[in-house]
Amino acid sequence: MKMFLEKTGVIRLGIIVMLGSLLFLICGCSPRSKVVQRVDTAMGTIVSQTLYQKEGTKKEGESILQEVIACIQNLEQEQLSRRLPGAEVYQINQAAGEKEGIRVSEELKMQLETCMEISEASEGAFDITIGKIVQLWDIDGWAEGAAADEFVIPSDAALEAALTDSGYEKVEIAPGTVKLPANVQMDMGAVGKGIALDRIRALLEQYKVEGAVISVGGSVLTYGAKPEGGSWNVGIVNPADTSQNIGVLKLSGGWCVSTSGDYERYVEKDGIRYHHIIDPSTGKPADSGVRSVTILTRNGLYSDALSTACFILGSERGMALAEQFGAEALFVLEDGSLAMTEGMQEYFCLSNAGK
Ligand code: AMP
Ligand code: MG
């Protein structure tokens, strides 16, 4: 009898030890995750971040959020701005018409080559050399809240002159240098936010972040996974009522979603909406029957460039362009109806009650 009790005691102790080590194993394998969130303004737009990082990781979630903002600011200050003297694009614009091209980073050279690729494929609908036209419309001024009564519609003559000083084929990209003819000015507003997503993704990889969803204006990056599982939901704004979504994209990590819409930046005068997406064939805001275009791809620069290009091309030609680049597209048309690529249907869920 005593012998039996001793044996069961040993067995019980064994079970407790086993359970203990199992618990240790579970805790050891998956330290708890912490979620951190932050909203800032950078690159002239709102940057919103939600990030999951395992506790005890070398780099704390909060300092990663901070680094993401610094990364966007650097991109603008050193590379893409046409207003900040330290930026490569500013210097290229300043040197327009000079004999020698400007020495540029390999990164910017590659980005410019991608822009040229999209310009060609979109037959010039996407064109970063519309800098002068953007200035004539004072699109940057609208972002800073210019009053509609101060807004002056550029004359046709001024637009025509600016159009002759634009054209993507005028950009000369040589090994290591970029050159513009006199009076041609670049504007990277259509791709900056997408390029930011590509840089941010590299940062999240470097710090082995568990999961994140980060939006830079109308461009959103999904990364990794949520510890509790489930998809990342990216809302698609209803252009007719921007306080509502028309639906959401349910995505795993690794996607870039860019939206171009006529509600993002505009001025209204005499009942007419003048928005910020310019048709390079007229020099005027594009009028293609589209109110917004959302592009889904794996690459930020492509998603941003294509969303702008597709807005100008309209749903039919835009859909063909997106498919040419293996991207999914969703168009909200002027009558409120939707058009989308077949692949997009897999991710898009319409909101209830038309929200
Ligand atoms: P997005 O909101 O990404 O469509 O970009 C719009 C911004 O891109 C504008 O504010 C302009 O700075 C610039 N942009 C406007 N029209 C074009 C165009 N046709 N091609 C390239 N960039 C453009
Ligand atoms: Mg864009």
User: Residue 23 corresponds to which tokens in the numbers above?
Assistant: 């618990």
Average pLDDT over residues 156-177: 96
Residue nearest to atom 8 of ligand 1 (CA): 190
Residues with CB under 5 A from ligand 2 (ion): 190, 304, 307-308
- The closest alpha carbon to 321, from 303, 338, 337, belongs to 303
Q: What is the spatial distance between Cα 43 and Cα 72, in angstroms, rounded to a whole number?
A: 7
Q: pLDDT of 174-189, one tens digit each?
A: 998 999 999 999 999 9
Distance from Cα 171 to the centre of ligand 1, integer Å: 17
Q: What sections of 122-187 are H helices per DSSP?
A: 131-137, 139-143, 156-164
Which residue's CA is the closest to the ligand 1 atom numbered 12?
189
Q: CA 313, CA 302: separation in Å to the nearest integer?
A: 16
255-290 confidence digits (pLDDT tens): 999 999 999 999 998 889 999 999 999 999 999 999
pLDDT for the residue numbered 354: 42
Closest CA to 292 of 280, 279, 275: 275
pLDDT digits (tens, 9 = 90+) for 109-133: 999 999 999 999 999 999 999 999 9
Residue 129's SS3 state is coil
Selected residue with higher pLDDT from 354 and 72: 72
Residue 137 Cβ contacting ligand 1 at under 6 Å = no
The SS3 of residue 51 is strand
Type of residue at 306:
L
Encoded tokens for 27: 């805790």
H-run or E-run covering 24: helix 2-29
The alpha carbons of the chain give a radius of gyration, in whole angstroms, of 25
How far is the centre of ligand 1, averaged over its atoms, from the C-alpha of 131 (Å)?
9
Report the pLDDT value the prediction gives residue 58, as an integer from 0 to 100. 80
Mean pLDDT, rounded, for 12-40: 59
Cα-to-centroid distance, 276 and ligand 2 (Å): 11
pLDDT score, position 30: 55
DSSP 92: H
Average pLDDT rounded to a whole number, residues 154-159: 97
Residue 33 has pLDDT above 70, yes or no: yes
C-beta of residue 285 within 8 angstroms of C-beta of residue 277: yes
pLDDT at 147 over 90: no
Structure tokens at 192: 């900056």
What's the per-residue H, E or C state across 209-252? Answer: CCEEEEEECCEEEEEECCCCCCCEEEEEEECCEEEEEEEEEEEC
CA 290 / ligand 2 centre spacing (Å): 14
Nearest alpha-carbon partner for 130 in 302, 276, 300: 276
Checking if the pLDDT of 7 tops 60, the result is no
Q: What amino acid is encoded at 266 in this protein?
A: Y
In Å, how far from its chain's centre is CA 189?
11
Averaged confidence pLDDT in the chain: 91
Q: Is 187 in the pocket of ligand 1 (CB under 6 A)?
A: yes
CA–CA separation, 339 and 53 (whole Å): 37
pTM of the model: 0.91
Q: pLDDT-derived band of residue 3, with 50, 70 and 90 as boundaries?
A: very low
Q: Yes or no: say if 179 and 172 are a contact pair by the CB < 8 Å rule.
A: yes
* Long-range CB contacts (within 8 A, 24+) of 36-42: 36/61, 36/62, 36/64, 36/65, 37/65, 38/62, 38/65, 38/69, 40/69, 42/69, 42/72, 42/73, 42/76, 42/216
